[in-house]
């Protein structure tokens, strides 16, 4: 290839490159944002910061403290303290250390009660390591109020259950006593 041909080819390739640059400069929608003044549209499937949904109908968060999410977590992010039992089980402490979280979604897949979700919130950057430690007050939708309402609901349900059991036991004892033959009756 002669020097002139090589020069012409190089010059054409520069023009092609500049044409592509010009097209992108004026012809295409900008995909950069002046963050944080402009906010990005986040997909609803985004794996962001966790929350525990509050069930208005039941008056409690859905979590029953079964620990399946904690067992599924490969990095030991989740700890909890259970309260109540049986149908009236919940948690009064639920902590996630997001400093160790991989946002792998395994905890959410493991939960059989739809009790833990990921939101579209993504901003975790801070100079304070403490912000990545999320307690139940920060995780529950509705905050400390939702946690308090859950506690009251569970305590009321447990009291009701204990009262029903006591009433049933008393009724059973009374039925047994009335079935006993009275003194002097019979032969
Ligand atoms: S997303 Fe993964 S790493 Fe994070 S808490 Fe859930 S299971 Fe653990
Ligand atoms: S979030 Fe789900 S899996 Fe985890 S303890 Fe609560 S109910 Fe169980």
State the 10-residue block means of pLDDT for the chain, 187 residues long. Answer: 89 95 86 90 94 95 96 97 91 95 96 96 88 95 96 94 91 86 53
Domain that holds residue 83: 50-165
Q: Quote the pLDDT of residue 186.
A: 45
Structural domain contains residue 45: no
**Any alpha helices (H) in 40-112, and if so which ranges?**
68-72, 106-110
- What gap in Å lies between CA 74 and CA 80, rounded to an integer? 16
Is the beta carbon of 139 within 6 A of some atom in ligand 1?
Answer: no
Structural domain contains residue 180: no
Q: From the centroid of its chain, how far is CA 92?
A: 15
Is the beta carbon of 98 within 6 A of some atom in ligand 1?
Answer: no
Structural domain contains residue 149: yes
Determine the distance separating the centroid of ligand 2 and the alpha carbon of 145, expressed in angstroms: 20
- Ligand 2 site, CB within 6 A: 63-69, 80, 110-111, 113, 115-116
Q: Quote the pLDDT of residue 75.
A: 96
Q: Which of 111, 114, 134, 141 to mutate to test the pocket of ligand 2 (most atoms within 8 A of CB)?
A: 111
Structural domain contains residue 139: yes
Q: How many domains does the chain have?
A: 1
- What gap in Å lies between CA 50 and CA 27, rounded to an integer? 39
**Nearest to 141, CA basis, from 84, 56, 77, 75:** 56
Structural domain contains residue 71: yes
- What gap in Å lies between CA 18 and CA 60, rounded to an integer? 62
Structural domain contains residue 22: no
Structural domain contains residue 98: yes
Structural domain contains residue 85: yes
Q: What is the CATH number of the domain that holds 152?
A: 3.30.70.3270
Q: Quote the pLDDT of residue 129.
A: 83
Q: Quote the pLDDT of residue 17.
A: 96
């Amino acid at each position: 290839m002669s020097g002139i041909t090589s020069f012409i080819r190089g010059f054409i390739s520069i023009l092609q490159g500049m044409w592509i640059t010009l097209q992108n400069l004026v012809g295409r929608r900008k995909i950069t944002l002046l963050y944080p003044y402009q906010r990005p549209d986040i997909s609803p499937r985004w794996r962001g910061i966790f929350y525990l949904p509050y069930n208005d109908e039941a008056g409690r968060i859905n979590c029953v403290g079964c620990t399946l999410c904690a067992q599924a977590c490969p990095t030991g992010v989740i700890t909890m303290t259970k309260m109540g039992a049986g149908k009236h089980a919940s948690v009064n402490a639920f902590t996630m250390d997001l400093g160790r979280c991989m946002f792998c979604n395994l905890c959410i897949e493991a939960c059989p009660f739809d009790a833990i979700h990921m939101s579209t919130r993504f901003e975790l950057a801070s100079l304070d390591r403490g912000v990545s430690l999320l307690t139940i007050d920060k995780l529950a939708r509705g905050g400390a109020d939702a946690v308090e309402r859950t506690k009251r609901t569970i305590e009321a349900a447990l009291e009701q259950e204990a009262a029903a059991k006591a009433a049933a036991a008393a009724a059973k004892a009374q039925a047994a006593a009335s079935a006993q033959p009275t003194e002097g009756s019979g032969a």
